[in-house]
Structure 1
Amino acid sequence: MVQEPTQDHLIGTTVDGRYHVRSRLARGGMSTVYLATDQRLERDVALKVLHPHLANDETFLERLSREAKAAASLSHPHVVSVLDQGEDGHIAYLVMEYVKGHTLRDVINQQGALPPRLALALIDPVIEGLAAAHGSGLIHRDIKPENVLIADDGRIKVGDFGLARAVTATTSTGALIGTVAYLAPELVLGKPADARSDVYSAGIMLYEMLTGKQPYAGESPIQVAYQHVNAAVGRPSEAAPGLAEDLDELVQWCTAVDAENRPVDGSALLSELRHIRTTLSDEQLDHRQPSSRPLSTAAAVEAAAPRENPTEALATTASPTEFIPHQSNPTTVMAASARQPRNAGLALPGVDDDLRQPGKREQKKLERQQAKDQARAAATPVRPLREGNPRRRAVIWTVVIVILALLAGSAGWFFGMGPGSPGTVPDVKNKTVAEAQQLLRTAGFQSEPRDVFDDDVQAGLAVGTEPKSGEVVRKFQPIALFVSKGAQLFALPGLTGGTLDQAKTALNAAQMTLGNVTEAFDEKIPAGSVISQDPAPGKEVRHGTPVSLVVSKGPQPIPVPDVRGLPQDAAVKAIQDAGLKAVVAPETVNDKSVPKGAVVAQSPGNGTLVRGETVTLTVSKGPKLVRVPSFIGKQAKDAQKDLEKLGFDVKINAILGGFFGTVRDQNPVDTEIPEGSVVTLTVV
């Protein structure tokens, strides 16, 4: 989720005396999401504040409270946790786990069509989260890329459980809520939603991940809704040539218009999804579209600026915020305005008259069925063509009864004691193949061994059966005996040279986990890039293996040594020993306190540098020579003052107390000596 700078009256305030609002994250069709701090527990949270038209609806708020409690009871690593719910004056809010990162929408916007390996790896935790929710009796109703959150550490979570369900369930809104591009046909038709509605939305999302675009488009949301009801989702390979047939079948299974023809829930879809991932070849998994943008692991982490795609409400006007009320006849969303004058002029382009008049279409169906019934009745004789002999009929009936008795007896034996009798499938896990087959034969079953990878069962031992152990089935039904080939191993990707975020994304795509991350100085590899990994690239390991990384802190900083006052050679050696480069300035300078040939100044004089950087040294040529004039016969005070101006130190040697203050003698006199030297005056 990317923070979105904006002016907002809630920013900087505290909601319900607990949640301090820091910034706005996103705005959707039903709510605005803020980054807030839970001041009681001192943690960041996502604060979802409902729009006023929902916050003022008491019936909706009661429903939302129940749904929030149900969603809060669901604890799963791939589902965003609901932490709190409440009201503060006119503000109604939900508090959820804050997932710092980006969304699946950002990845699709950045990459376009994804390789099947990455698409399946990204959607797997989404379906696993849905499976857990469906198992707890929860339905999402608004599955879309914007609600799939990808954390900076690679975790994938499904967000917004409960909110869409609360909106569609309350009678005060009476409206159809959901992002129209992913909306299941039964929701468009006003029918109750179940787990298969979420499966449909997930199938549409997988289609978009594999092809880079949504299967249906239109100038208005209602045109897209019409296609969900009246068309079948095409094969992804038609939009993205080269995709495996198994992926086509998976998407079309999930997006069947009739919910009865879809997977029953997320758990059923998850099993098939993971089966397909193990059966596709590396070439099929890594297939990319020629027109798609080059894939890099950085692109899955460095998300583009997110595009707002809020939860939409199907509307009968041009405004995307209005709702279509469900009618008593839910077979079409286009007939909603038939009895309402304010919508009397509405029509959907491309929809025929029969669809706008469901009564006429139903009448045609009834007429066709009546014609069939009349034709069938006309072909059925009302009496026999010939009466026949009564004795012959008695013999025929006797033969028929005997045959029926024999058939009944055979059927009784077949279904009671024979191959058709029921039996319980025994538990064969961790048995050898011979032991497992013997157990199945003893129970009356014939088995067919099939090799599968399994992380937990040793190679050569039985993993289980299909149907599963404990199920009661007819003995003529063949039993699939799954035999372990051991853990499936996968080659680790190379992570060195890339950033830490790129490494996290690559590990997530390979279904590995991030191990310990340590830092080290490196003179060649930039800061933030991976220096090494353990295990090494290319090593074959199980899924979920932790990979430890060493990340560069850049070149090690070196303190600059202070060499002022040292002889030039000694100063240069000290700089070089520190790993730096010493350069002697061509100009020398006089200095009365630094002897000739010693360093009088350096640049820089302190701080730190990187190995190989330069320190410039300035060398002294010693103090300059100054001629000492004679001050004999002059007053000592004046002589001392003038000598000090010339840069000399003056020593007074007073005779008889220096009563007259006159210089009688001077040493040295009338000669050049270094500035700073001592001149002695003898004063009487």
Structure 2
Amino acid sequence: MQEHVSDPFVGTLVDNRYTVQSRLARGGMSTVYLAVDQRLERDVALKVLHPHLAADENFLGRLGREAKAAARLSHPHVVGVLDQGHDGHTAYLVMEYIKGHTLRDVLNSKGALPPRLALALVDPVVEGLAAAHTAGFIHRDVKPENVLIADDGRIKIGDFGLARAVTTSTSSGTLMGTVAYVPPEIVLGRTADARSDVYSVGIMLFEMLTGQQPFKGDVPIQVAYQHVNGTVGPPSALVPGLAGELDELVQWCTANDPENRPVDANALLQELRHIRTNLTDSELDLHPPAAAGTAVSAAPDARETAPVQEAGFRNHTEFIARTSNPTTVMPSGRPAPPAHGPALGREFLQPDRGAARGSHILTPPGEDVEEPWAPPAPQLSKRAQRKAGKEDEKARARAAATPVRSLREGSARRRGVLWVVVLVLAALLATGAGWFFGMGPGAAATIPAVANRTVAEAQQLLTEAGFRSTTRDVFDDDVPSGLVVGSEPEAGTEIRKFQPVSLYVSKGPQLFPLPQLSGGTLDDAKGALNGAGMALGPVTEEFNEDVPAGIVLSQDPVAGTPARHGTPVAMVVSKGPEPIPVPSVVGQDEDDAMDAIEAAGLKAEVAREEVFDRNVPEGAVVSQSPASGTLTRGGTVTLTISKGPRMVEVPSFIGRQANEARRALEALGFQVRVNNVLGGFFGTVRDQDPVDTEVPEGSVITLTVV
């Protein structure tokens, strides 16, 4: 279910690849968004780490290694890790997007589940953990919130590697994981292993069967204290009629001592499936009563207990008594306490010697343990009574067929010899166990640092420390080929010597062929580089007469060259044909003008018609088109050639007034010069030069005026 909130991160593009669509959830370490992988066009779950984690370089390095390791874990019931990266101040993980809901949503809506449904939901979780444990991975944060149920019914467990990365990057005193499901050894700061995941599964199965968690408190430290010092009671204390096999399974998984739990999820899976196949339909389909959801009783047979008060702890678990409905203890040879006496105050957990291991009853201090009172059985129908009667008859028949006494008692001497043999075998077993866990393969040892060493050197170090190792080839951008990248478990981890250690050997950086960029546009080239995981290198431009502007001319390295992700690729991009300035040839002779234009790389053409021009001599260029600016190579410049000035006949103005003669001559395109004789008193033209002849337009006509 998507969480519709206002988030500034929504709508952004992360690492030029992931478009954030909406926020799905927010936790203590990260915020999860629904995003679209633009490269592969698919929905993904984008887990963006909180800024205080993204700023920790050591944590980011650790997270990267954990993400690579988790990405190698491929199983139908494990959420796949697809990518990991760092974009500016944003550190992120990309995981498979499971459209659906979580096991927490199921528990919130349904409460306690029938055993058949609870076992069906937890089975794929344990199967996914079993595959992880076989591959050497530990989850460290198993809880209903990390169990994803797809709309099509697929069940997967997610967040592999993240809890471990955070635990490694924080101080040793920091308790990671949800406190309701945290194993006692993690609370005590000890090394977690596969049995730690088994403990969390047991707590989760308890909650699925009963509708509530076994330990509660006002603050997390109270719950953590109960994990270390308390004992998980049987689920049947809250759900009467629950099969005893389920009680045993839950209490086996949640034993305080890891040595008393299943060795890993594979062992748990076998027992889980064995129980599912052996329980009857009535046991599997038992519907929890509506009251299931009150506080867990420490006594398996008690039907009413005081609610647990977690507001304080001492060296033992305490319960605060209440004045009504106290736990009732049947008398044994002593008068019963008053029915309405004062409250007993604090009552202490005492082991029930007659009950199964791990069961408790509430007893006042100083009193002996008595059998707990059980309420009267509910009234059965006649059909149920007949069925119960038949079962009683069968039980009596089996009891009658079972001998209560052995026909051969055996001599006391024989029994003594047997006891000696048993004690000798026990001593040998104890000695062997002491050697095995003290000096042998079961002894604890610390994994040495093997990073950046050759395989032979790393294996020698592990052998000297008592470990056996296997190798796995991995790509690594930083460690040279042939050297060890690291180990799983990592250096400094304390494990048993018989546990396997995997060495990750570098194959060098993973190389990918560079795409073909030449011949396409620059935008197409950028998209191809992004799709191939490569970086954009320097981009230079140059003129090219044959390739249009914006087209990639060449790339370096060339297409097909093997390169690691992130390799920068330089490109040369065409600016198109080089522009050529148009030379000015107006006034030059036609031949000279054409030579000048062709020398510039342009083509000269002469206009079909010539024009008269009084200022430009015949055969010279009057005008050109274009007159200035630039053209590409081979561009055409059109030249207009002058025919020289036009020839105009000069009429005679002798005897006429000078002003009239001037106006008429200037109208014909001549220039007029006036020479006054005796001051030109009369203003009459006495002489004209030239006169009655053709002269070039613009010629000077001289008038002599008296």
Matched with 1:680 is 702
Equivalent residue of 1:441, what SS? helix
CA 267–576 in structure 1, closer or farther in 2 if over 3 Å, else same:
farther
Equivalent residue of 1:523, what SS? coil
The aligned amino acid for 2:405 is E
Q: CA contact under 8 A between 1:131 and 1:266: conserved in structure 2?
A: no
CA 265–480 in structure 1, closer or farther in 2 if over 3 Å, else same:
closer
C-alpha distance in 1 between matches for 2:210 and 2:284: 27
Q: TM-score, normalised by structure 1?
A: 0.50
C-alpha distance in 2 between matches for 1:607 and 1:32: 55
Matched with 1:644 is 666
C-alpha distance in 1 between matches for 2:557 and 2:632: 31
Aligned partner of 1:603 among 612, 625, 632: 625
Q: Spell out, residue by residue over 1:3-33, the C-alpha distance to the aligned partner (whole angstroms, 9 max, x if none).
A: xxxxxxxxxxxxxxxxxxxxxxxxx965598
Quote how far apart the aligned CAs of 1:678 are.
Answer: 1.1
Q: Spell out, residue by residue over 1:25-70, the C-alpha distance to the aligned partner (whole angstroms, 9 max, x if none).
A: xxx96559899xxxxxxxxxxxx9x9xxxxxxxxxxxxx9xx8999
The aligned amino acid for 1:184 is H
Q: CA contact under 8 A between 1:189 and 1:330: conserved in structure 2?
A: no
Matched with 1:232 is 153
Greater length-normalized contact order (CA 8 Å, ≥ 6 residues apart): 1
Note the 1:78-227 alignment, pairs <5 A. 105=36, 107=38, 126=46, 182-186=99-103, 189=106
Q: CA contact under 8 A between 2:99 and 2:151: conserved in structure 1?
A: no
Structure 1 gaps, min length 5: 1-27, 36-47, 51-63, 81-102, 138-153, 162-179, 193-199, 201-226, 234-256, 270-328, 332-358
2:424 is the counterpart of 1:424: no
Matched with 1:387 is 405
Quote how far apart the aligned CAs of 1:421 are.
Answer: 1.5
CA 370–458 in structure 1, closer or farther in 2 if over 3 Å, else same:
closer
Q: CA contact under 8 A between 1:585 and 1:619: conserved in structure 2?
A: yes
Q: Spell out, residue by residue over 1:385-409, the C-alpha distance to the aligned partner (whole angstroms, 9 max, x if none).
A: 4622333693656555544443333
Aligned partner of 1:370 among 258, 279, 283: 283
The aligned amino acid for 1:501 is D
The aligned amino acid for 1:668 is P
C-alpha distance in 2 between matches for 1:403 and 1:32: 68
Query: Which moves more between the two structures, 418-427 or 650-659?
Result: 650-659
C-alpha distance in 2 between matches for 1:506 and 1:627: 78
CA 404–68 in structure 1, closer or farther in 2 if over 3 Å, else same:
closer
C-alpha distance in 2 between matches for 1:155 and 1:408: 53
Q: Spell out, residue by residue over 1:426-480, the C-alpha distance to the aligned partner (whole angstroms, 9 max, x if none).
A: 1112223332222111101122334333332233332222222111122122322
C-alpha distance in 2 between matches for 1:543 and 1:439: 33
2:481 is the counterpart of 1:459: yes
CA 129–543 in structure 1, closer or farther in 2 if over 3 Å, else same:
farther
2:262 is the counterpart of 1:262: no
Quote how far apart the aligned CAs of 1:372 are.
Answer: 9.6
Matched with 1:570 is 592
C-alpha distance in 2 between matches for 1:646 and 1:31: 87
Equivalent residue of 2:442, what SS? coil
CA 398–330 in structure 1, closer or farther in 2 if over 3 Å, else same:
closer
2:533 is the counterpart of 1:612: no
Equivalent residue of 1:391, what SS? coil
Q: CA contact under 8 A between 2:541 and 2:574: conserved in structure 1?
A: yes
Q: CA contact under 8 A between 2:37 and 2:44: conserved in structure 1?
A: no
Note the 1:583-594 alignment, pairs <5 A. 583-594=605-616
Note the 1:615-634 alignment, pairs <5 A. 615-634=637-656
2:572 is the counterpart of 1:659: no
Q: CA contact under 8 A between 2:51 and 2:90: conserved in structure 1?
A: no
CA 230–626 in structure 1, closer or farther in 2 if over 3 Å, else same:
closer
2:524 is the counterpart of 1:502: yes
Matched with 1:336 is none
The aligned amino acid for 2:575 is K
Max Rg structure: 2
Q: CA contact under 8 A between 2:29 and 2:50: conserved in structure 1?
A: no
RMSD: 5.1
C-alpha distance in 1 between matches for 2:86 and 2:605: 53
Note the 1:274-423 alignment, pairs <5 A. 368-370=281-283, 384-385=402-403, 387-388=405-406, 389-391=408-410, 394=415, 399-423=421-445
Q: CA contact under 8 A between 2:100 and 2:151: conserved in structure 1?
A: no
The aligned amino acid for 2:603 is K
The aligned amino acid for 1:605 is A
Equivalent residue of 2:410, what SS? helix
C-alpha distance in 1 between matches for 2:528 and 2:515: 7
Indicate the percent of aligned positions where both proteins have the same amino acid: 49
Q: TM-score, normalised by structure 2?
A: 0.49
Structure 2 gaps, min length 5: 11-19, 60-84, 110-124, 126-147, 166-208, 212-238, 244-275, 287-387
Matched with 1:246 is none
C-alpha distance in 1 between matches for 2:572 and 2:666: 64
